[in-house]
Structures are given as C-alpha cells and as structure tokens.
Amino acid sequence: MAYQIPRGTADVLQEKSYAWQALEERLRQFCYLYNYDEIRTPIFEHTNVFKRENDSSDMVNKEMYTFTLENSNTSLTLRPEGTAGTVRSFVENKMYANPDQPVKMYYMGPMFRHERPQKGRMRIFNQFGIECLGNKSPYTDVETIVLAFSILKSLGLKDIKVCLNTLGDDESRNNYRTALKAYFEPYLDDLCSDCKRRYEQNPLRILDCKVDHDKEYMKNAPSMKDYLNEESKEYFNTVCNLLETLDIPYEVDDKLVRGLDYYSHTVFEIVSVNKEMGAQSTVLAGGRYDNLISYFGGPENMSGIGWALGMERLLIALEAEGITLDEKPGLDAYVMCLDKQAQTYAFEVLTELRANGYRSDMDYLQRGFKGQFKAVSRSKAKFALLIGSTEMDSNQVTIKNIEKQEQVTISRDDIIEYLDTQFE
C-alpha cells in the first residue's frame, strides 16, 4: 500500500516554503512595529480549555480532535484556535498583574479542526493571530483592526473588505437573545438540526447558519442594533468614529455574529471579494471578549480583543490577485569539481565561501562538465567556481561570472576578496 497524506492536510513543499517564510517575516515585522510580543502555547491543551460550558459553536461541538491516552483519565485536545490557550496562559502566568496593560501578544502555528475539506478549508491549517488582553478601550479595538488592515494592504491586497458589527455587552446580548428566541420559535420545525441546538444554547449563532442562510425568515430576523443599551451603542460609535478618523474603510454588517461563542462588543471580519476566492472568502476574523479572562480564573473586570487570520486562505487570496511572495533565491556561487582528486580541495573552497556568507553549493555526484553546468543553471548561481587538478596543483580557482560570461583564474587566497568586489 502506498503511503498518503491524511485528507485535509498538506505538505508545504520546498518551492512554496519561501512564500511562507516571507509571509511569516512580514507578520512578525508588523507585530514588532505595533509592540506585540510572540507567545508560544502548547499544541494540545486540556480539553476544558476549549470546551467551555454551554458553548454552541460547531468548532467546539463537532470539529475537535480530542483524545485520551491509555491508562489516563486526562482528556486532551489538539488546539482548534489560539485565543483560549493564550488567555489560559495569561491567567496562569498572572500577566493580569503586569503594571502595563494591555498585554499584547501574537502567535503563529497549526490549528486542528475536523471539517469537511474544501478549497480554503483544511483539517490542519495555520493561523496567525494577535491578542490584546487586560484593559478595555475602544482604542485597542481600533488598534487591532488597523494592524490587520495594514498587514493585508502591505502585502498588496486590494479586493478586501472590513466588515464590522457589535454584539454589545451582556445585558444587550441577553435582550437580543430573548428577542431572537421569540422570533424563531414559529420556525423551529424548519430549522436545521444544528440550529435547533443553537436555539437552546445561543440563538445568535442561528444567524451564522450556512444551511438556512437564504431563508426569508433569516433576512427578517431582529437586528442586534435595536437591542443595544446606551453604553454599548456609545462604545461602538467611538470605534466607528476612530476608524473614520484613520481612514480605514469598513462596512457595518448587523448580521455578523462570528463563529465562536465568547464574543461581546466589537466583532469583525476581513473578507476577500475577489471572484476567484470561492466560498471560503473570510481571511481574518476576530472580536472582543469580556468574559473569557474571568472564565479562566482571572480578574472579573478584564477584557480582551484579538483576531486570527488563516495563512493558507491568505495565500489563496494573494494568488487570486496575482500577488507572488518570495520565491527560492539563486545561489551566489556553485562549485564545479571536475576531477575526483580535487574533491577535497573543492570542498574546502566551498566551506570557505560559506564561512564568508556566500550562499553556495557544489556537485557531489561527480558529473561531467555538461551535467554540472546544467546544475549551475538550475541553481541560478551568479558565479561558477571551476576546480580540477590543474587548479588544485597551482592552488588556484577559475571563477566564471555567469551573467557576463567572463572568467578569471585567481589564487585560492584571493577568492573572497574577488567575490567581495563583485558583489559590492
């Protein structure tokens, strides 16, 4: 039987790895600029970190990779998202007592969800996310949105849209829940089985249903904005005004509720509107959470806000707009070894090149001149160093400038000095 990669997972092959690295580097640079530090939490956590009481989200109820090892009662879960682990760590490490709040962190790495694989939807995918934890200020809501928008813009994306909504505070959300329950009651029989569960646990999530989405009664459902108390309205207005002050374009979508249950106040998504994107067009999503820090045993009055972007989806969105990130760079030098006796001499030269910062490689196959020269071309090397027994005996090398098609024979002691002048 042939061995195959599991469904919904992917290898990042060598050619693509440069685009990944360029993306990772860009994300880190932006976090550095905005003063966010990296946090690395475990890939698996105790199941109760993710599975919280009365959580109605699909992710928690249907998509988690949960396991218990033999001879153990401990249930562990491969992380499906980054926020819960980060907040767990914030509380466990008492970061809430830091003199400087908010504590600003970012993370990057694989997430695991047992979903039906499709383009842009995988079982192992990578997220990059930020969390801004501790105090609550509309300025931090806006900071996180500006950071998200700036990253995507800097990568060259044009076909993107920021969608924004508020879920208000607990009181507003409770009133809205009651209104939604009353509204959906007559349609209960018609709702999909997931929505029947959502109706009991968190009727807001019915608005996020992908099955019943187009039904007439979905479109006419009550709107969150009519249930916001004054405080929540004011908070949202401040966020909107600040975004306008900074010229960040956005659209308010009052049916945007987001897939996770812990959100309150500001929620947002950045969507690619490019035609090539298909159904999985949400690249980045996030929001504020008022109750998560206290849920994990931290102080009552602390709030947080964060977002995560799907790195695979971002790469698809970039591709859809014809944007390429880094490709594999060529070598500085390729050492051609033309006589078996000269191999160690050539290997020493190669080692010296590398010690001096020249990205280089050599032929280990003892191919003929033609074969090695093809390898030079494939490696996109700027220089080929030709070494045979003649060069070895006279302690020299022949260096060929590939672009200029010129070559010189120089003393081995002068190689680095020569290349330094060529690369100036």
Residues that contact ligand ATP, how many (by CB under 6 A): 21
Yes or no: say if 401 and 422 are a contact pair by the CB < 8 Å rule.
yes
Pick the binder of ligand ATP from 283, 316, 335, 399 (CB under 6 A).
283
- 73, amino acid identity: N
Residue showing tokens 């960040």: 248
**Residue closer to ligand ATP (CB basis): 118 or 394:** 118
CA–CA dist 59, 66 (Å, integer):
12
Window contacting ligand ATP (CB under 6 A); options: 15-23, 68-76, 119-127, 372-380: 119-127
Helices within 321-396 (DSSP H only): 343-355, 369-378, 389-393
Window contacting ligand ATP (CB under 6 A); options: 173-181, 235-243, 281-289, 409-417: 281-289
Q: Contact between 259 and ligand ATP (CB under 6 A)?
A: yes
Pick the binder of ligand ATP from 36, 125, 128, 262 (CB under 6 A).
125
Yes or no: say if 400 and 407 are a contact pair by the CB < 8 Å rule.
yes
Least CB distance from residue 249 to ligand ATP, whole Å?
Answer: 19
Q: Contact between 316 and ligand ATP (CB under 6 A)?
A: no
**Residue closer to ligand ATP (CB basis): 62 or 328:** 62
Q: Contact between 315 and ligand ATP (CB under 6 A)?
A: no
Window contacting ligand ATP (CB under 6 A); options: 158-166, 308-316, 350-358, 390-398: 308-316
Burial of 381: CB neighbours in 10 Å, binned 0-12, 13-18, 19+: buried
Yes or no: say if 308 and 284 are a contact pair by the CB < 8 Å rule.
yes
Pick the binder of ligand ATP from 88, 104, 313, 382 (CB under 6 A).
313
Least CB distance from residue 423 to ligand ATP, whole Å?
Answer: 41
Between 375 and 414, how does the x/- string for binding to ligand ATP read (CB under 6 A)? Answer: ----------------------------------------
Pick the binder of ligand ATP from 308, 316, 331, 362 (CB under 6 A).
308
Integer angstrom CA distances of residue 48 from 11, 85, 161, 292, 323: 30, 11, 35, 13, 41
Yes or no: say if 110 and 10 are a contact pair by the CB < 8 Å rule.
no
Least CB distance from residue 277 to ligand ATP, whole Å?
Answer: 11
- Which residues 6+ apart lie within 8 Å of 209 measured at CB? 191, 192, 194, 195, 198, 218
- Which residues 6+ apart lie within 8 Å of 242 measured at CB? 138, 139, 142
Yes or no: say if 31 and 179 are a contact pair by the CB < 8 Å rule.
no
Q: Contact between 107 and ligand ATP (CB under 6 A)?
A: no
**How wide is the angle at C-alpha 396 spanned by C-alphas 407 and 421, nearest 5°?**
55
Least CB distance from residue 217 to ligand ATP, whole Å?
Answer: 21
Q: Contact between 110 and ligand ATP (CB under 6 A)?
A: no
Pick the binder of ligand ATP from 55, 115, 253, 361 (CB under 6 A).
115
**Residue closer to ligand ATP (CB basis): 116 or 340:** 116
Pick the binder of ligand ATP from 89, 282, 360, 379 (CB under 6 A).
282
Other CB atoms closer than 10 Å to residue 219's CB: what's the count? 9
Least CB distance from residue 107 to ligand ATP, whole Å?
Answer: 13
**How wide is the angle at C-alpha 108 spanned by C-alphas 102 and 110, nearest 5°?**
135
Pick the binder of ligand ATP from 310, 325, 372, 396 (CB under 6 A).
310
Q: Contact between 262 and ligand ATP (CB under 6 A)?
A: no
Residue showing tokens 């939604």: 180
Pick the binder of ligand ATP from 312, 332, 363, 391 (CB under 6 A).
312
Q: Contact between 363 and ligand ATP (CB under 6 A)?
A: no
At how many degrees (to 10) do helices 230-245 and 138-154 cross? 40
Q: Contact between 280 and ligand ATP (CB under 6 A)?
A: yes
Give yes or no for a cis peptide into 222 (omega within 30° of 0). Answer: no
Footprint (CB under 6 A) of ligand ATP, residues 145-184: none
